[in-house]
Amino acid sequence: MTQETVTNGTEALFTREGMPPVKEMIPCALQHVLASFAGIITPAVIMAGVYGFNSQQSTDIIQVALILSAIDTALQAFAPFRRIGGGLPIVMGVSFAFLPALQAMGASGFSFGALLGGEIVGGAVAVLFGLAYSKIKWLFPPVVTGTVIFSIGVSLYPTAVKYMAGGMGTPLWGTPQAWCVALITFAVVFALANFGKGTLKLGSVFFGMIVGMIVSIPFGMIDFSSVATAQVFALPKLMPYALEFDPEVCITLAVVFPMVAIQVIGDVSAACLGSIDRMPTERELSGAIVSQGLTSMVGGLLGGLPTSALGQNVGIICSNKVVNKWVFVIIAAVFAIAGLFPQLSAVLSAIPQPVIGGATVGVFGTITMNGVRMFTREGLTQRTTTIVGTSVVFGLGIWMASGCLAGEGMPTWVPTVIGSNAVTPTAIMAIVLNLILPQTPVVAQHIDAAKDAAVDLVLPESKK
Protein backbone atom coordinates (compact mmCIF):
# COMPACT_ATOMS: atom_id res chain seq x y z
CA MET A 1 0.00 0.00 0.00
CA THR A 2 1.52 3.30 -1.09
CA GLN A 3 1.80 6.32 1.17
CA GLU A 4 -0.61 8.17 -1.15
CA THR A 5 -3.23 5.45 -0.62
CA VAL A 6 -2.80 5.62 3.11
CA THR A 7 -3.10 9.39 3.36
CA ASN A 8 -5.81 9.94 0.75
CA GLY A 9 -7.88 6.73 0.73
CA THR A 10 -10.02 4.91 3.26
CA GLU A 11 -7.07 4.36 5.57
CA ALA A 12 -6.81 8.14 6.05
CA LEU A 13 -9.89 7.91 8.28
CA PHE A 14 -7.59 6.43 10.91
CA THR A 15 -4.90 9.11 10.66
CA ARG A 16 -5.04 12.77 11.65
CA GLU A 17 -3.89 14.01 8.25
CA GLY A 18 -4.93 13.11 4.71
CA MET A 19 -8.26 13.35 2.86
CA PRO A 20 -10.55 10.31 3.06
CA PRO A 21 -13.41 9.86 0.56
CA VAL A 22 -16.29 12.21 1.37
CA LYS A 23 -18.83 9.37 1.13
CA GLU A 24 -17.01 7.64 4.00
CA MET A 25 -16.42 10.75 6.09
CA ILE A 26 -20.07 11.84 6.18
CA PRO A 27 -21.50 8.75 7.94
CA CYS A 28 -18.63 8.84 10.45
CA ALA A 29 -19.38 12.50 11.19
CA LEU A 30 -23.17 12.14 11.34
CA GLN A 31 -23.02 9.39 13.94
CA HIS A 32 -21.21 11.84 16.22
CA VAL A 33 -23.90 14.44 15.55
CA LEU A 34 -26.65 11.93 16.33
CA ALA A 35 -24.95 10.95 19.57
CA SER A 36 -24.32 14.49 20.79
CA PHE A 37 -26.91 16.96 19.57
CA ALA A 38 -29.47 16.14 22.28
CA GLY A 39 -26.83 16.63 24.95
CA ILE A 40 -25.88 19.99 23.42
CA ILE A 41 -29.35 21.51 23.22
CA THR A 42 -30.79 20.11 26.46
CA PRO A 43 -28.77 22.32 28.87
CA ALA A 44 -29.90 25.33 26.83
CA VAL A 45 -33.54 24.19 26.99
CA ILE A 46 -33.26 23.61 30.74
CA MET A 47 -31.75 27.04 31.42
CA ALA A 48 -34.42 28.65 29.22
CA GLY A 49 -36.98 27.04 31.51
CA VAL A 50 -35.18 28.21 34.65
CA TYR A 51 -35.35 31.83 33.47
CA GLY A 52 -38.80 31.61 31.89
CA PHE A 53 -37.56 32.61 28.44
CA ASN A 54 -40.12 33.27 25.73
CA SER A 55 -40.05 31.30 22.48
CA GLN A 56 -37.65 33.72 20.76
CA GLN A 57 -35.20 33.73 23.67
CA SER A 58 -35.35 29.93 23.87
CA THR A 59 -34.63 29.69 20.15
CA ASP A 60 -31.70 32.09 20.51
CA ILE A 61 -30.00 30.19 23.33
CA ILE A 62 -30.28 26.90 21.41
CA GLN A 63 -28.92 28.59 18.28
CA VAL A 64 -25.87 29.89 20.18
CA ALA A 65 -25.32 26.49 21.85
CA LEU A 66 -24.96 24.84 18.45
CA ILE A 67 -22.68 27.58 17.09
CA LEU A 68 -20.40 27.48 20.15
CA SER A 69 -20.18 23.70 19.82
CA ALA A 70 -19.11 24.17 16.21
CA ILE A 71 -16.45 26.73 17.14
CA ASP A 72 -14.87 24.65 19.91
CA THR A 73 -14.91 21.40 17.91
CA ALA A 74 -13.26 23.12 14.93
CA LEU A 75 -10.60 24.74 17.13
CA GLN A 76 -9.77 21.38 18.71
CA ALA A 77 -9.51 19.74 15.28
CA PHE A 78 -7.22 22.32 13.69
CA ALA A 79 -5.41 24.02 16.61
CA PRO A 80 -4.85 27.01 14.30
CA PHE A 81 -2.89 29.00 16.86
CA ARG A 82 0.08 27.92 18.91
CA ARG A 83 -1.66 27.67 22.28
CA ILE A 84 -5.34 27.39 21.22
CA GLY A 85 -6.75 23.94 20.52
CA GLY A 86 -5.26 20.53 21.14
CA GLY A 87 -5.17 19.27 17.55
CA LEU A 88 -6.73 16.05 18.85
CA PRO A 89 -9.81 13.92 17.99
CA ILE A 90 -12.50 15.21 20.35
CA VAL A 91 -16.03 16.62 20.02
CA MET A 92 -16.77 19.69 22.15
CA GLY A 93 -20.11 21.25 22.96
CA VAL A 94 -22.34 22.93 25.51
CA SER A 95 -22.20 20.58 28.46
CA PHE A 96 -24.26 19.29 31.40
CA ALA A 97 -21.17 19.69 33.58
CA PHE A 98 -21.95 23.36 34.31
CA LEU A 99 -25.69 22.84 34.75
CA PRO A 100 -25.87 22.39 38.56
CA ALA A 101 -24.01 25.64 39.23
CA LEU A 102 -25.93 27.58 36.57
CA GLN A 103 -29.28 26.32 37.83
CA ALA A 104 -28.33 27.28 41.37
CA MET A 105 -27.44 30.81 40.27
CA GLY A 106 -30.77 31.14 38.47
CA ALA A 107 -32.71 29.80 41.46
CA SER A 108 -30.92 32.30 43.72
CA GLY A 109 -32.35 35.20 41.74
CA PHE A 110 -29.30 36.23 39.73
CA SER A 111 -30.08 37.57 36.28
CA PHE A 112 -29.05 35.77 33.11
CA GLY A 113 -26.73 38.70 32.40
CA ALA A 114 -24.96 37.95 35.70
CA LEU A 115 -24.50 34.33 34.59
CA LEU A 116 -22.98 35.50 31.33
CA GLY A 117 -20.60 37.83 33.18
CA GLY A 118 -19.57 34.98 35.45
CA GLU A 119 -19.10 32.77 32.38
CA ILE A 120 -16.64 35.27 30.90
CA VAL A 121 -14.68 35.37 34.17
CA GLY A 122 -14.78 31.57 34.49
CA GLY A 123 -13.63 31.17 30.89
CA ALA A 124 -10.69 33.48 31.57
CA VAL A 125 -9.79 31.37 34.61
CA ALA A 126 -9.92 28.25 32.41
CA VAL A 127 -7.55 29.91 29.92
CA LEU A 128 -5.09 30.71 32.72
CA PHE A 129 -5.52 27.17 34.05
CA GLY A 130 -4.68 25.76 30.62
CA LEU A 131 -1.61 27.94 30.21
CA ALA A 132 -0.33 26.97 33.66
CA TYR A 133 -1.46 23.33 33.52
CA SER A 134 2.02 21.82 33.66
CA LYS A 135 2.71 23.61 36.94
CA ILE A 136 -0.56 22.88 38.79
CA LYS A 137 -1.65 19.47 37.51
CA TRP A 138 -0.45 17.87 40.78
CA LEU A 139 -3.47 19.43 42.53
CA PHE A 140 -5.90 17.33 40.49
CA PRO A 141 -5.10 13.61 40.64
CA PRO A 142 -7.77 11.08 39.60
CA VAL A 143 -9.25 10.86 43.11
CA VAL A 144 -10.03 14.60 43.08
CA THR A 145 -11.23 14.71 39.48
CA GLY A 146 -13.36 11.60 39.84
CA THR A 147 -15.00 12.88 43.02
CA VAL A 148 -15.94 16.15 41.34
CA ILE A 149 -17.37 14.39 38.27
CA PHE A 150 -19.32 12.03 40.55
CA SER A 151 -20.89 14.98 42.38
CA ILE A 152 -21.80 16.64 39.06
CA GLY A 153 -23.69 13.54 37.94
CA VAL A 154 -25.53 12.96 41.22
CA SER A 155 -26.57 16.60 41.57
CA LEU A 156 -28.22 16.40 38.13
CA TYR A 157 -30.59 13.58 39.13
CA PRO A 158 -33.36 15.86 40.47
CA THR A 159 -33.28 17.81 37.20
CA ALA A 160 -33.91 14.66 35.15
CA VAL A 161 -36.75 13.50 37.40
CA LYS A 162 -38.43 16.92 37.42
CA TYR A 163 -38.37 16.94 33.65
CA MET A 164 -39.74 13.41 33.49
CA ALA A 165 -42.61 14.52 35.72
CA GLY A 166 -43.52 17.31 33.31
CA GLY A 167 -41.71 20.30 34.78
CA MET A 168 -42.39 21.71 38.23
CA GLY A 169 -45.07 24.40 38.15
CA THR A 170 -46.52 23.37 34.80
CA PRO A 171 -49.98 21.81 34.24
CA LEU A 172 -48.23 18.55 33.34
CA TRP A 173 -46.41 18.28 36.68
CA GLY A 174 -46.80 14.77 38.12
CA THR A 175 -49.52 13.70 35.67
CA PRO A 176 -49.83 10.18 34.23
CA GLN A 177 -49.44 11.64 30.74
CA ALA A 178 -46.05 13.14 31.59
CA TRP A 179 -44.73 9.95 33.15
CA CYS A 180 -46.09 7.84 30.28
CA VAL A 181 -44.21 9.91 27.68
CA ALA A 182 -41.05 10.05 29.82
CA LEU A 183 -40.93 6.32 30.53
CA ILE A 184 -41.61 5.36 26.90
CA THR A 185 -38.80 7.70 25.81
CA PHE A 186 -36.47 6.20 28.42
CA ALA A 187 -37.40 2.64 27.38
CA VAL A 188 -36.61 3.35 23.71
CA VAL A 189 -33.27 4.99 24.54
CA PHE A 190 -32.36 2.16 26.92
CA ALA A 191 -33.31 -0.57 24.45
CA LEU A 192 -31.43 0.98 21.53
CA ALA A 193 -28.35 1.79 23.61
CA ASN A 194 -28.08 -1.74 25.00
CA PHE A 195 -29.57 -3.97 22.31
CA GLY A 196 -29.38 -1.90 19.13
CA LYS A 197 -26.69 -2.02 16.49
CA GLY A 198 -24.96 0.47 14.22
CA THR A 199 -26.62 3.85 13.80
CA LEU A 200 -29.56 2.89 16.04
CA LYS A 201 -27.20 2.20 18.92
CA LEU A 202 -25.02 5.26 18.36
CA GLY A 203 -28.05 7.54 17.97
CA SER A 204 -30.14 6.00 20.75
CA VAL A 205 -30.86 9.36 22.44
CA PHE A 206 -31.82 10.96 19.12
CA PHE A 207 -34.19 8.17 18.09
CA GLY A 208 -35.62 7.93 21.61
CA MET A 209 -36.51 11.62 21.52
CA ILE A 210 -38.17 11.20 18.11
CA VAL A 211 -40.36 8.40 19.48
CA GLY A 212 -41.09 10.43 22.62
CA MET A 213 -42.22 13.43 20.57
CA ILE A 214 -44.52 11.23 18.48
CA VAL A 215 -46.05 9.72 21.63
CA SER A 216 -46.55 13.19 23.15
CA ILE A 217 -48.58 14.52 20.19
CA PRO A 218 -51.95 12.99 21.27
CA PHE A 219 -51.47 14.61 24.71
CA GLY A 220 -51.10 18.06 23.15
CA MET A 221 -47.60 18.58 24.55
CA ILE A 222 -45.98 19.94 21.36
CA ASP A 223 -46.43 23.52 20.21
CA PHE A 224 -44.68 24.48 16.96
CA SER A 225 -46.17 27.99 16.79
CA SER A 226 -42.74 29.56 17.34
CA VAL A 227 -41.40 27.85 14.20
CA ALA A 228 -43.59 29.93 11.90
CA THR A 229 -42.41 33.21 13.44
CA ALA A 230 -38.70 32.27 13.60
CA GLN A 231 -36.32 33.58 10.95
CA VAL A 232 -35.08 31.23 8.26
CA PHE A 233 -31.50 32.45 8.66
CA ALA A 234 -29.94 34.61 11.36
CA LEU A 235 -26.56 35.32 12.86
CA PRO A 236 -26.21 35.18 16.65
CA LYS A 237 -26.69 38.47 18.47
CA LEU A 238 -23.75 40.21 20.14
CA MET A 239 -24.42 40.88 23.84
CA PRO A 240 -28.20 40.24 23.74
CA TYR A 241 -28.28 40.68 27.54
CA ALA A 242 -26.64 43.37 29.64
CA LEU A 243 -23.55 41.82 31.20
CA GLU A 244 -23.23 41.93 34.99
CA PHE A 245 -20.17 40.90 36.96
CA ASP A 246 -21.63 39.94 40.32
CA PRO A 247 -18.79 38.87 42.67
CA GLU A 248 -20.70 35.85 44.02
CA VAL A 249 -21.50 34.47 40.58
CA CYS A 250 -17.99 35.17 39.29
CA ILE A 251 -16.34 33.42 42.25
CA THR A 252 -18.64 30.41 41.94
CA LEU A 253 -17.95 29.90 38.23
CA ALA A 254 -14.24 30.65 38.71
CA VAL A 255 -14.18 27.59 40.97
CA VAL A 256 -16.35 25.39 38.72
CA PHE A 257 -14.46 26.05 35.45
CA PRO A 258 -11.14 24.47 36.57
CA MET A 259 -13.09 21.42 37.80
CA VAL A 260 -14.69 21.02 34.37
CA ALA A 261 -11.28 21.59 32.76
CA ILE A 262 -10.08 18.51 34.62
CA GLN A 263 -13.00 16.60 33.13
CA VAL A 264 -11.87 17.80 29.68
CA ILE A 265 -8.40 16.40 30.40
CA GLY A 266 -9.92 13.05 31.32
CA ASP A 267 -12.10 12.85 28.20
CA VAL A 268 -9.32 13.96 25.85
CA SER A 269 -6.89 11.48 27.40
CA ALA A 270 -9.40 8.64 27.07
CA ALA A 271 -10.10 9.50 23.43
CA CYS A 272 -6.41 9.65 22.51
CA LEU A 273 -5.46 6.49 24.37
CA GLY A 274 -8.34 4.55 22.84
CA SER A 275 -7.91 5.78 19.27
CA ILE A 276 -4.25 6.62 18.61
CA ASP A 277 -2.67 4.52 21.37
CA ARG A 278 -0.93 7.31 23.21
CA MET A 279 -1.60 9.84 25.93
CA PRO A 280 -1.84 13.50 24.89
CA THR A 281 1.13 15.72 25.62
CA GLU A 282 1.00 18.56 28.14
CA ARG A 283 1.00 21.01 25.23
CA GLU A 284 -2.02 19.30 23.64
CA LEU A 285 -3.96 19.21 26.91
CA SER A 286 -3.10 22.83 27.60
CA GLY A 287 -4.37 23.85 24.15
CA ALA A 288 -7.60 21.88 24.63
CA ILE A 289 -8.36 23.70 27.89
CA VAL A 290 -7.45 27.12 26.49
CA SER A 291 -9.80 26.56 23.53
CA GLN A 292 -12.61 25.53 25.87
CA GLY A 293 -12.08 28.63 28.02
CA LEU A 294 -11.97 31.04 25.07
CA THR A 295 -15.09 29.52 23.49
CA SER A 296 -16.93 29.91 26.79
CA MET A 297 -15.89 33.57 26.95
CA VAL A 298 -17.33 34.04 23.46
CA GLY A 299 -20.46 32.29 24.72
CA GLY A 300 -20.83 34.94 27.41
CA LEU A 301 -20.76 37.65 24.74
CA LEU A 302 -23.31 35.85 22.53
CA GLY A 303 -25.73 34.87 25.29
CA GLY A 304 -24.82 31.17 25.30
CA LEU A 305 -23.64 28.55 27.77
CA PRO A 306 -20.09 27.22 28.37
CA THR A 307 -18.64 24.26 26.49
CA SER A 308 -16.80 21.13 27.52
CA ALA A 309 -15.79 17.75 26.07
CA LEU A 310 -18.73 15.50 25.21
CA GLY A 311 -18.16 12.20 26.96
CA GLN A 312 -20.72 10.30 24.87
CA ASN A 313 -18.58 10.89 21.78
CA VAL A 314 -15.41 9.57 23.40
CA GLY A 315 -16.88 6.06 23.26
CA ILE A 316 -17.47 6.36 19.51
CA ILE A 317 -13.93 7.61 18.91
CA CYS A 318 -12.43 4.74 20.89
CA SER A 319 -14.59 2.10 19.21
CA ASN A 320 -14.18 3.03 15.54
CA LYS A 321 -10.78 4.80 15.85
CA VAL A 322 -11.74 7.34 13.18
CA VAL A 323 -9.54 10.33 14.03
CA ASN A 324 -9.11 12.22 10.74
CA LYS A 325 -9.43 15.95 11.39
CA TRP A 326 -11.70 16.51 8.38
CA VAL A 327 -14.32 14.23 9.93
CA PHE A 328 -14.41 16.55 12.94
CA VAL A 329 -14.59 19.58 10.64
CA ILE A 330 -17.74 18.09 9.09
CA ILE A 331 -19.17 17.60 12.59
CA ALA A 332 -18.49 21.27 13.36
CA ALA A 333 -20.03 22.32 10.03
CA VAL A 334 -23.27 20.44 10.78
CA PHE A 335 -23.50 22.11 14.21
CA ALA A 336 -22.91 25.53 12.61
CA ILE A 337 -25.54 25.04 9.89
CA ALA A 338 -28.12 23.95 12.47
CA GLY A 339 -27.29 27.01 14.58
CA LEU A 340 -27.54 29.51 11.72
CA PHE A 341 -31.08 28.47 10.80
CA PRO A 342 -33.32 29.57 13.73
CA GLN A 343 -36.33 27.67 12.45
CA LEU A 344 -34.47 24.45 13.16
CA SER A 345 -33.58 25.77 16.61
CA ALA A 346 -37.26 26.61 17.18
CA VAL A 347 -38.24 23.03 16.34
CA LEU A 348 -35.73 21.77 18.90
CA SER A 349 -37.00 24.18 21.57
CA ALA A 350 -40.50 22.69 21.23
CA ILE A 351 -39.39 19.32 22.60
CA PRO A 352 -41.63 18.54 25.65
CA GLN A 353 -39.97 18.37 29.06
CA PRO A 354 -40.95 14.70 29.71
CA VAL A 355 -39.17 13.73 26.48
CA ILE A 356 -36.00 15.55 27.55
CA GLY A 357 -36.09 13.95 31.00
CA GLY A 358 -36.67 10.44 29.70
CA ALA A 359 -33.91 10.77 27.11
CA THR A 360 -31.23 12.25 29.38
CA VAL A 361 -31.69 10.47 32.71
CA GLY A 362 -29.31 7.77 31.51
CA VAL A 363 -26.76 10.39 30.40
CA PHE A 364 -26.64 11.76 33.95
CA GLY A 365 -26.05 8.25 35.26
CA THR A 366 -23.16 7.84 32.82
CA ILE A 367 -21.56 11.05 34.08
CA THR A 368 -21.70 9.68 37.63
CA MET A 369 -20.15 6.36 36.70
CA ASN A 370 -17.38 8.11 34.77
CA GLY A 371 -16.46 9.72 38.07
CA VAL A 372 -16.47 6.34 39.82
CA ARG A 373 -14.21 4.88 37.14
CA MET A 374 -11.79 7.74 37.59
CA PHE A 375 -11.41 7.68 41.37
CA THR A 376 -11.13 3.88 41.43
CA ARG A 377 -8.42 3.83 38.75
CA GLU A 378 -5.68 3.29 41.34
CA GLY A 379 -7.73 1.04 43.59
CA LEU A 380 -10.37 1.68 46.23
CA THR A 381 -7.99 2.21 49.14
CA GLN A 382 -8.91 3.59 52.56
CA ARG A 383 -7.42 6.93 51.54
CA THR A 384 -9.57 7.04 48.39
CA THR A 385 -12.78 6.13 50.21
CA THR A 386 -12.07 8.76 52.89
CA ILE A 387 -11.53 11.52 50.33
CA VAL A 388 -14.50 10.58 48.17
CA GLY A 389 -16.94 9.81 50.97
CA THR A 390 -16.16 12.89 53.05
CA SER A 391 -16.13 15.26 50.08
CA VAL A 392 -19.45 13.99 48.73
CA VAL A 393 -21.07 14.18 52.18
CA PHE A 394 -20.07 17.83 52.50
CA GLY A 395 -20.95 18.68 48.90
CA LEU A 396 -24.33 16.98 48.57
CA GLY A 397 -25.22 17.54 52.23
CA ILE A 398 -24.68 21.30 52.14
CA TRP A 399 -26.45 21.58 48.80
CA MET A 400 -29.50 19.54 49.88
CA ALA A 401 -29.78 21.19 53.31
CA SER A 402 -30.99 24.43 51.75
CA GLY A 403 -30.18 27.49 53.86
CA CYS A 404 -27.72 25.74 56.17
CA LEU A 405 -25.09 28.41 55.43
CA ALA A 406 -27.44 31.39 55.44
CA GLY A 407 -27.76 31.97 59.19
CA GLU A 408 -27.38 35.30 60.95
CA GLY A 409 -23.82 36.60 60.83
CA MET A 410 -22.77 34.45 57.86
CA PRO A 411 -21.24 36.50 55.00
CA THR A 412 -23.74 36.84 52.16
CA TRP A 413 -21.36 35.34 49.58
CA VAL A 414 -20.95 32.04 51.45
CA PRO A 415 -24.40 30.51 50.72
CA THR A 416 -24.15 31.57 47.07
CA VAL A 417 -20.59 30.48 46.34
CA ILE A 418 -20.44 27.36 48.52
CA GLY A 419 -24.00 26.39 49.39
CA SER A 420 -25.83 26.91 46.12
CA ASN A 421 -24.50 23.80 44.35
CA ALA A 422 -22.89 20.49 45.22
CA VAL A 423 -19.85 20.82 42.97
CA THR A 424 -18.01 23.67 44.70
CA PRO A 425 -17.92 22.30 48.28
CA THR A 426 -17.14 18.82 46.94
CA ALA A 427 -14.20 20.13 44.91
CA ILE A 428 -12.80 22.25 47.74
CA MET A 429 -13.00 19.40 50.25
CA ALA A 430 -11.50 16.85 47.83
CA ILE A 431 -8.51 19.10 47.06
CA VAL A 432 -7.88 19.85 50.74
CA LEU A 433 -8.17 16.21 51.86
CA ASN A 434 -5.92 15.03 49.05
CA LEU A 435 -3.24 17.48 50.20
CA ILE A 436 -3.35 16.66 53.92
CA LEU A 437 -3.85 12.88 53.87
CA PRO A 438 -0.56 10.99 53.48
CA GLN A 439 -0.12 9.01 50.30
CA THR A 440 -0.48 5.27 50.73
CA PRO A 441 2.74 3.55 49.62
CA VAL A 442 2.30 1.35 46.59
CA VAL A 443 3.60 -1.66 48.53
CA ALA A 444 1.03 -1.12 51.25
CA GLN A 445 -1.77 -0.83 48.70
CA HIS A 446 -1.03 -4.25 47.28
CA ILE A 447 0.17 -6.14 50.35
CA ASP A 448 -3.21 -7.75 51.02
CA ALA A 449 -3.50 -8.84 47.41
CA ALA A 450 -0.02 -10.38 47.63
CA LYS A 451 -0.97 -12.28 50.80
CA ASP A 452 -4.12 -13.62 49.15
CA ALA A 453 -2.12 -14.74 46.12
CA ALA A 454 0.39 -16.50 48.37
CA VAL A 455 -2.38 -18.30 50.22
CA ASP A 456 -3.91 -19.44 46.93
CA LEU A 457 -0.58 -20.92 45.90
CA VAL A 458 0.30 -22.60 49.18
CA LEU A 459 -2.93 -24.00 50.54
CA PRO A 460 -3.73 -26.40 47.72
CA GLU A 461 -0.25 -27.96 48.06
CA SER A 462 -0.58 -28.37 51.83
CA LYS A 463 -3.92 -30.04 51.43
CA LYS A 464 -2.42 -32.53 49.02
**In the prediction, which pLDDT does 142 show?**
85
User: What does the DSSP 8-state code read for residue 308?
Assistant: E
Residue 287: inside a domain: yes
Report phi then psi at 244, rounded to 5.
Answer: -130, 140
Decide if 425 is inside a domain.
Answer: no
Q: In this structure, what are the phi and psi dihedrals at residue 97, rounded to the nearest 5 degrees?
A: -60, -30
Report d(CA 37, CA 21) in Å as an integer.
24
**Quick check: is 456 in a domain?**
no
Distance of CA 296 to the CA centre of its chain: 13
Buried b (16+ CB within 10 A) or exposed e, 436-454: eeeeeeeeebeeeeeeeee
Query: Residue 103 carries which side chain, given as an amino acid letter?
Result: Q
Report pLDDT digits (tens) over 334-365: 999 989 988 877 777 778 889 988 988 887 78
Residue 83, in any domain of the structure: yes
Among 271, 318, 292, 282, smallest CA distance to 76 is for 292
Residues of the chain with pLDDT under 70: 1-8, 199, 202, 312, 440-464
Within a domain: 391:
no
Q: Are 227 and 65 in contact (CB under 8 A)?
A: no
Assigned domain for 426 exists: no
pLDDT in tens, 106-153: 988 999 999 999 999 999 999 999 999 989 888 888 898 888 888 888
Domain that includes residue 168, residue range: 3-382
How is residue 170 annotated by DSSP?
Answer: S
Contacts of 123 (CB under 8 A, 6+ apart): 257, 293, 294, 295, 296, 297, 299, 300, 306
| pTM strictly above 0.85 | no
C-alpha–C-alpha distance, residues 221 and 230, integer Å = 20
- State the total domains in the chain: 1
| Residue 34 to residue 464: CA distance in whole angstroms | 60
What residues are paired with 84 via a beta bridge? 81
Is 57 domain-assigned?
yes
Pick left, alpha or beta for residue 175 (phi over 0 → left; psi -120 to 50 → alpha; otherwise beta): beta
**Residue 454, pLDDT score:** 47
Q: What are phi and psi for residue 59, nearest 5 degrees? A: -60, -40
Domain membership of residue 458 (yes or no) is no
